[in-house]
A and B are shown apart, each in its own frame.
Chain A
């Protein structure tokens, strides 16, 4: 019987049921060993992810003046939240911010990746991949501070250029006016040339079986038709991943509002993430801040589930 252990087929499953012997996997490793290796990660996950999440959900039903324990108030925080004009405005702001930024990120990442994928020279492909990757190593806070200076009134790069070419008579306060501040944040870091989405899509395209492309070309399929009929349907998995990451990242956005605009002017760039931070750390309303966090979590969770389900609808993945 011992010889059968590790073999494939029906005999392998028989080996698992030998009394007094640990259940084994194909590599002669007891089945519990992989779980042992997962324990440290699991502990970290529970301590730093699940516990804070559960704690925040619990505290969202309390008035919580740290360091005292929270005082249970039921749904009071949620009732206040949905009649709080600043919170409602922050939701509206972040939806606009996320949708536009995600569209820009995804569209341009697909175009960029397709263009590079279709390059015949592999060395040029590598150069372009490098060009898209380098900006990703700049720390985001540095990026934000640079962009804050780009949008500045006097001495701001954007104004210097626009005044210099005669497009403006005098500097315009891009982040000092409610009608432009949010859009100024949307364009920080040129989301249209975001490297992360580009790299994932390019990797997915390069993993597509070459035979499919060759067959399509032989059958007279144009490159553009191939993109929409073969490439994009085949990489729905990676596209869904980018979409989820982009939407989640956008909805939880906080740093640009903190560093560049502080939620202003007149709350026009207030995001739920920054409002949560302000309520918690400036006003000391940690229960209320937890309620904002819980709503944000539910929003991102719902979106992620929706996207994951949509990704499998009528899908047949070839890549990744």
Chain B
């Protein structure tokens, strides 16, 4: 008996010693730099910044050997791409860095750490018994996870929030022109928008198309392309991705699906569907400001809306707060009408929402962080930040994006966008995320040439087909999918 007791005691001591050793090994220490994008902008948004600081402070108090440095918000777009690329080259990038998932997924493991394994582990900061406590990934919806999956199948970021887009409109102007902000079909929408112009002398819709890089015209392009190609979705969606997201038989295509459809000849720009797509696109440009090609930022468009120069503008949830604070008129949120058979043969009778994880809560960890031995710390802080008790108040204070973490509330921002959020999602993502960034810019240039009557319908279709084909070849060169041969 004594021997048994001694043995048990020895075992207990051994387990305790091992536990202590493990605890000591896992005791986090070090210093990391975190770039939370819009969630940390002390000058422009001190309230949200204070919440972010308190999250970091609480973490540092929990882990006394850890220092978290928050990097204030930087201009997005090409400026940020340059900033990030330079720091990646010098191994000086933030240890947790925001980036648009379309850009991140074009660099993949060249720049970023695949987070799949970590997402399959528990998140110790999430309350036991709630989604995510056993598997971090469960705290986020499947469609969010899968929409950000890279062409190589890995997940290089954690997406904590979501953005929806809609038409912000000037209620006073619409009333004055006798326009109701809901339309039976595309034709009715165009007629009403022209009525706004004729009655009030304003541009009906604010939207811009940039020569290179992202512009809000991308959203219109996504919707028109989705509207004309919707019937081909069953042929384009790949089984291996359907298996990952059962029940979502109409969803946004990922890069491999677009590339394979182009490769297999299912998706061709010379198809008659593209005639409809180009006609819709050109018709839409007639509702835009005269210099829609020339304006280079959504801020400029928002300014036109706030100064009564345009009756509506296509913006995102992030515009909600600023419009609310700055508009000196009554405003509302509406959306593009459904596309029906009256508009073109084969229309599905619905519109398509342009929402996605292109928001502020997209965080990845650069490969250099792992090389420097800070990976565990960076992942752990990301877990802490993504826990609902932390991310919920952060998103609620910012009021620009819809939090996706289980246990968080959308708040005021969701109320205006609930009708939009109920629409089917688009089949095509933005041109720069369909295949490659370069293909996106070439697509924009070809469409600009068409809008400005530099090219006719057939020439434009041929140019778009060349963009798709070359984009597919570039994707194949990078990924070497088995079907690429």
A interface residues, Cβ below 8 angstroms from B: 65-68, 148, 151-156, 170-178, 181, 258, 260-267, 269-270, 277-278, 280-285
Contacts and interface: CB of A to CB of B under 8 A. Distances in A.
A199 B293 CA distance: 38
Given A177-B452, A265-B448, A154 B290 contact: yes
A262 B210 contact: yes
A208 B15 CA distance: 94
A123 to B, nearest CB: 45
A262 B296 contact: yes
B294 A174 contact: yes
Instruction: Pick from A66, A171, A265 the residue with the most CB of B within 10 Å.
Output: A265
A284 B89 contact: no
Interface of B: 78, 81-82, 85, 88-89, 91, 106-107, 110-111, 203, 210-213, 289-296, 300, 304, 307, 309, 367-368, 436-438, 441, 444-445, 448-449, 452, 454
B449 A176 contact: no
Contacts of B300: 152
Nearest to B89: A66
B436 A66 contact: no
A75 B300 CA distance: 43
A265 B88 contact: no
Given A65-B110, A178-B452, A173 B294 contact: yes
A278 B212 contact: yes
A295 B292 CA distance: 34
15 contacts: A67-B91, A152-B291, A154-B304, A155-B309, A171-B290, A173-B290, A175-B291, A177-B293, A177-B452, A264-B212, A265-B211, A266-B449, A282-B437, A283-B438, A284-B106
Contacts of A282: 78, 81, 212-213, 437-438, 441
Contacts of A281: 78, 81-82, 85
A76 to B, nearest CB: 13
Contact of B454 (A173, A178, A263): A178
B452 A154 contact: no
Contacts of B212: 262-264, 278, 282
Contacts, number: 117
Given A155-B307, A171-B290, 14 more contacts: A66-B88, A66-B89, A67-B88, A68-B110, A153-B294, A153-B295, A154-B289, A170-B290, A177-B452, A264-B444, A264-B448, A266-B211, A277-B82, A284-B107
Nearest to A156: B291
Given A262-B210, A283-B436, A267 B289 contact: no
A144 to B, nearest CB: 11
Nearest to B446: A266
A298 to B, nearest CB: 24
Contact of A284 (B85, B210, B293): B85
A262 B213 contact: yes
A117 B293 CA distance: 45
Classify the secondary structure of A's interface with B.
loop
Contacts of B449: 266
A203 B186 CA distance: 66
Contact of A263 (B88, B211, B295, B436): B211
Q: Which 10 A-B pairs have the closest CB atoms?
A: A264-B211, A176-B294, A153-B291, A173-B291, A176-B291, A176-B293, A66-B89, A175-B294, A153-B290, A281-B82
B62 to A, nearest CB: 33
A176 B208 CA distance: 10
B285 to A, nearest CB: 11
Contacts of A153: 289-291, 294-295
A266 B452 contact: yes
A265 B452 contact: yes
A67 B291 CA distance: 39
B134 to A, nearest CB: 36
Contacts of B438: 282-283, 285
A67 B213 CA distance: 23
A181 B436 CA distance: 27
Nearest to A184: B294
A264 B210 CA distance: 7
Contacts of B441: 278, 282
A8 B82 CA distance: 57
Given A177-B452, A280-B85, A265 B78 contact: no
Given A67-B91, A173-B290, A284-B107, A262 B211 contact: yes
B52 to A, nearest CB: 27
A171 B288 CA distance: 13
A278 B213 CA distance: 9
Contacts of A65: 110
Contacts of B444: 264
A181 B210 CA distance: 13
B111 to A, nearest CB: 8
A15 to B, nearest CB: 51
Contact of A154 (B106, B203, B448): B203
Contacts of B78: 258, 277-278, 281-282
A264 B215 CA distance: 12
A51 B452 CA distance: 44
Contacts of B307: 155
Contacts of B107: 284
Given A278-B441, A281-B81, A282-B78, A176 B292 contact: yes
A66 B106 CA distance: 13
A67 B368 contact: yes
With most chain A CB atoms within 10 A of its CB, the pick from B291, B367, B436 is B291
- Output the residue of A152, A262, A263, A280 with the most chain B CB within 10 A: A262
A155 B293 contact: no
B211 A171 contact: no
Contacts of A280: 85
Contact of A267 (B82, B210, B211, B437): B211
Q: Which of A151, A154, A260 has the most CB of B within 10 A?
A: A154
Nearest to B93: A67
Contacts of A178: 452, 454
Contacts of A269: 211
Contacts of B110: 65, 67-68
A152 B307 CA distance: 14
Given A65-B110, A155-B309, A265 B85 contact: no
Contacts of A264: 210-212, 293-294, 444-445, 448
A166 B244 CA distance: 62
B203 to A, nearest CB: 7
Nearest to A274: B212
Contacts of A267: 211, 445
A181 B295 CA distance: 12
A261 B448 CA distance: 13
Nearest to B439: A283
B141 to A, nearest CB: 30
Contacts of B213: 262, 282
A67 B92 CA distance: 11
Given A266-B454, A281-B81, A173 B91 contact: no
Given A66-B89, A281-B78, A284-B106, A261 B296 contact: yes
